[in-house]
Chains A and B, each alone.
Chain A
Amino acid sequence: DAGITQSPRYKITETGRQVTLMCHQTWSHSYMFWYRQDLGHGLRLIYYSAAADITDKGEVPDGYVVSRSKTENFPLTLESATRSQTSVYFCASSGRDTQYFGPGTRLTVL
């Protein structure tokens, strides 16, 4: 199906573990983004990518790593999860002005 998908939708992990959140889009959009959404903070940009092999930090990049070897995939890795990274994570893609969001991944770090 066309669109933007995220997996897993829900994830529970423990402090110190590595976690990878996946994002896949079928539009061949150049830009892709990762946001986190916490109560009281709205959406905050973690990382973005303007094209394959081009990534850059957003507002809150610490503790996260991204890669983009293919245009359609933009995985986000928490190398050593912390409780403060408990959040809902949204991936988005953009070909021009507007952004298209995935359904989100709800991550709980115990």
Chain B
Amino acid sequence: SQQGEEDPQALSIQEGENATMNCSYKTSINNLQWYRQNSGRGLVHLILIRSNEREKHSGRLRVTLDTSKKSSSLLITASRAADTASYFCATDPNAGNMLTFGGGTRLMVKP
């Protein structure tokens, strides 16, 4: 069963636009993480936000977390064709290395 559910399942935008992906989860968490997967590759960790944090930035990435709504969003600003990938949220309930992944959002950035 998937703890996190991403929305939308697929997103197509033009280069330079912002991309927003959402993740909803069901149970309490210690932290929530976002990963990127390029086609045919393994997942790469992007950013981690802890349950006591509301917003976090890393370069062109901005992650928000609303524990009252059990939801998170990932914003990629000024997108590039190289951002084309699938993006997964993953929840960690206990800070014990165990993650449950959502189904992912497929992002296509058109040049």
Q: Are A42 and B88 in contact (CB under 8 A)?
A: yes
Q: Are B48 and A97 in contact (CB under 8 A)?
A: yes
Interface-lining segment among A14-22, A64-72, A73-81, A101-109? A101-109
Q: Are B97 and A99 in contact (CB under 8 A)?
A: yes
Decide: A42 near B103, CB < 8 A? Known: A97-B31, A101-B43, A101-B44. Answer: yes
A47 at the B interface (CB under 8 A): no
- Whole-angstrom distance between the Cβ of A63 and the nearest chain B Cβ: 19
On chain A, the residues within 8 Å of B14 by CB distance are none
A43 at the B interface (CB under 8 A): yes
On chain B, the residues within 8 Å of A94 by CB distance are 97
Name the interface size band of chain B.
Answer: 20 to 34
On chain A, the residues within 8 Å of B40 by CB distance are 104
If A31-B97, A42-B101, A97-B97 are given as contacts, then 17 extra A-B residue pairs at C-beta distance below 8 Å, sorted by A number, are A41-B103, A42-B88, A43-B43, A50-B97, A59-B1, A90-B42, A97-B31, A97-B33, A97-B48, A97-B95, A98-B45, A99-B43, A99-B45, A99-B99, A100-B45, A104-B40, A104-B41
Decide: A40 near B98, CB < 8 A? Known: A90-B42, A104-B42. Answer: no
On chain A, the residues within 8 Å of B33 by CB distance are 97-98
A positions within 8 Å CB-CB of B: 30-31, 35, 40-43, 45, 48, 50, 59, 90, 92, 94, 96-104
- Whole-angstrom distance between the Cβ of A7 and the nearest chain B Cβ: 14
- Whole-angstrom distance between the Cβ of A14 and the nearest chain B Cβ: 24
On chain A, the residues within 8 Å of B27 by CB distance are none
**How many inter-chain contacts with C-beta < 8 Å in the A-B complex?**
48
Q: Are B97 and A40 in contact (CB under 8 A)?
A: no
Q: Are B43 and A48 in contact (CB under 8 A)?
A: no
Q: Are B98 and A48 in contact (CB under 8 A)?
A: yes
Q: Are B97 and A42 in contact (CB under 8 A)?
A: no
Bound form: Cα–Cα A50–B96 in Å: 10
Bound form: Cα–Cα A50–B94 in Å: 14
- Kindly report which residue of chain B lies nearest to residue A58, judged by CB atoms: B98
On chain A, the residues within 8 Å of B95 by CB distance are 97
